[in-house]
Amino acid sequence: MNGPRRALVRGLSDRYTDATVHHFAHEGPINLTRARAQHARYVRALERIGLNVRHLPGDPRLPDCCFVEDMAVVSGHVALITRSGLPSRRPEADAVRRVLCEHLDVRLMQAPARLDGGDVLKVGRVMFVGQGARTNAEGAAILADTFMPRGYTIRPVPLPDTILHLKSVCSSPAPGLVVLAEGTLDPALFDGLARVVTIPAEETYAANTLGCNGKALVPRGYPRTRAALEAAGLEVIGLEMSEIRKGDGSLTCLSVWY
Active site (catalytic) residues: 165, 253
Strand 215-219 versus strand 235-239 pairing type: parallel
Q: Tell me whether residue 82 is exposed, middle or buried, using C-beta atoms within 10 angstroms of its C-beta: 0 to 12, 13 to 18, 19 or more.
A: buried
Q: Tell me whether residue 197 is exposed, middle or buried, using C-beta atoms within 10 angstroms of its C-beta: 0 to 12, 13 to 18, 19 or more.
A: buried
* Of the candidates 181, 178, 182, the residue with the CA atom closest to the CA atom of residue 155: 178
Which H helix or E strand runs over 244?
helix 242-246
Residue 205's CB is within 10 A of a number of other CB atoms, namely 21
Distance CA 190, CA 38 (A): 32
φ/ψ (deg, to 5) at 178: -125, 135
